[in-house]
Amino acid sequence: QVQLVESGGGLVQAGGSLRLSCAASGRTLSSYSMGWFRQAPGKEREFVAALRWSGGSTLYADSVKGRFTISRDNAQNTVYLQMNSLKPEDTAVYYCAASRRLGLTSYGYTYDYWGQGTQVTVSS
């Protein structure tokens, strides 16, 4: 079992920044990949970013590339999503997820564990 807890969401003006955290517990994550997804009301869940725990390889959705950065803290078993130059269309509930697959993936069904989500609201 892997437990994931997100934090750091809130209200921010367009152009501002926010950093989300995902604390993981239950098992070592050395063989896992971590992902961030988001979902707005009435919209499909969409991929945001992914990171290979071992080695730190990353993958980003085109919509956030250059603005968002995914990173990890090995000692704290924590994954971060630094969000800069935020836009109103970034407004959504953001979810942290963990996958046992070796390769990075943008598909939600490839992730095995999910956090409860944290709300991010970007005002114009």
Q: What is the pLDDT of residues 64-116, one digit of tens each?
A: 999 999 999 988 999 999 999 999 999 999 999 999 887 899 999 999 999 99
Mean pLDDT for the stretch of residues 40-44: 94
At 10, which amino acid appears?
G
Q: Which residues pair with 60 in a beta bridge?
A: 49
Angle ∠(33,35,40) on CA atoms, nearest 5: 165
How far apart, in whole angstroms, are the C-alpha atoms of residue 74 and residue 77?
A: 5
Beta 18-25 vs 3-7: how paired, if at all? antiparallel
Residue reference for tokens 């869940």: 45
pLDDT band at 55 (very low <50, low <70, confident <90, very high): confident
